[in-house]
Amino acid sequence: MVGDLLGKDFPFSEGVLSGKIALVCGASEGIGRATSLFLARAGAQVIACARSEGKLDDLINNLHGHGHQALPLDLEDTEQVERTISKLSSTGVEILINNSGGPPGSPLIENEIGDFEGPLRRHLYASHLFVKGLLPNMEKSNFGRIVNIISTSVKEPVDGIGLSNTLRGAMASWSKSLSNELPPYVTINNILPGYTDTGRLVSLSKSKSDRTGLTVEEVYSDWMGQAPIKRLVDPLETASAVVWLCLPSSGAIRGVSLAVDGGRMRSI
């Protein structure tokens, strides 16, 4: 059962990431929160980053182990991101999880140029700054893991979220380019979530309902019917894939985009 993953059926050895410090962006809910829970259970010290200080405090209180930190931060504020990186430069962060909520859903043709600015800062710009700023830590310890949470839309664009499709595609190309430039002991990979049981999906379901006239229940039923598992993906299942890519034993996995979508995508 998915619900047991934090308990007796936790899929990794506790302590396998002991001594590692992980910065998790977008950690207050959804996949970011689940990833923080799993990384802590695996032994990493988590620096949890998000805008909501209250949600971060709740997360820290529920993380396994000690020494975790809440880091309130707006990823769209580039100057704030740069100041934060300066403060993190001596912390020894070796694991970076780039993750942030997507922009509102709509047909791409309806977006204005200004609609791209905030999401680009939140996703691509912040991720690039974090990699540049934290890479010296990874070089010093000869170990680094960078995992970007993006979307299956980089391979199969999703109707009704054209701006998100565009941003995720840029992130995937950025990541693949970096995979050829980073030191041999620093890996960068992408996780491509499918329809996952998060607050983001609630927002998208309402947007699609308004656009199509379908009920929210019908929208969810359609989504679940597209995947062979016939259900939504649990965020903990996605977090399991993230932690796997962060393991010392995963050093040969580099520049890949791994779908965690219940088999929804039809491409190979």
**Domain-located, residue 165:** yes
Residues 187 and 205 in one domain: no
Total domains present in the chain? 2
Residues 213 and 149 in one domain: no
Residues 61 and 174 in one domain: yes
**Domain-located, residue 225:** yes
pTM: 0.93
Residues 227 and 249 in one domain: no
Residues 98 and 53 in one domain: yes
SS (H, E, C) 1-17: CHHHCCCCCCCCCCCCC
Check residue 182 and give its pLDDT. 98
Check residue 143 and give its pLDDT. 98
| Whole-number Å distance between alpha carbons of 78 and 185 | 28
**Domain-located, residue 6:** no
**198, two tokens:** 């998060």
Contact 97, 82 (CB under 8 A): no
**Domain-located, residue 216:** yes
| Whole-number Å distance between alpha carbons of 156 and 159 | 9
Residues 110 and 202 in one domain: no
Residues 205 and 118 in one domain: no
**Domain-located, residue 240:** yes
Residues of the chain with pLDDT under 50: 1
**Domain-located, residue 268:** no
Q: How many CB atoms lie within 10 A of CB 146?
A: 26
**Domain-located, residue 2:** no
Judge residue 127's burial from the number of C-beta atoms within 10 Å of its C-beta, 0-12 exposed, 13-18 middle, 19 or more buried: buried
**56, two tokens:** 């971060």
Contact 96, 188 (CB under 8 A): no
Residues 100 and 204 in one domain: no
3-state class (DSSP) for residue 67: coil
Instruction: Output DSSP code: residue 132.
Output: H
| Whole-number Å distance between alpha carbons of 8 and 122 | 36
Residues 249 and 228 in one domain: no
**Domain-located, residue 3:** no
Residues 141 and 248 in one domain: yes
Domain range for 206 is 198-232
Residues 35 and 104 in one domain: yes
Judge residue 255's burial from the number of C-beta atoms within 10 Å of its C-beta, 0-12 exposed, 13-18 middle, 19 or more buried: middle
Check residue 204 and give its pLDDT. 80
Instruction: Please state the separation of Cα 101 from the chain's center in Å.
Output: 9
Nearest partner of 237 among 59, 10, 8, judged by Cα: 10
Judge residue 51's burial from the number of C-beta atoms within 10 Å of its C-beta, 0-12 exposed, 13-18 middle, 19 or more buried: middle
Residues 116 and 223 in one domain: no
Long-range own/partner contacts, residues 262-267 (CB < 8 A, 24 or more apart)? 262/194, 262/195, 262/227, 262/228, 262/229, 262/231, 262/232, 262/233, 263/227, 263/228, 263/229, 264/152, 264/194, 264/195, 264/226, 264/227, 264/228, 265/152, 265/155, 265/156, 265/194, 266/156, 267/155, 267/156
CATH number at residue 72: 3.40.50.720
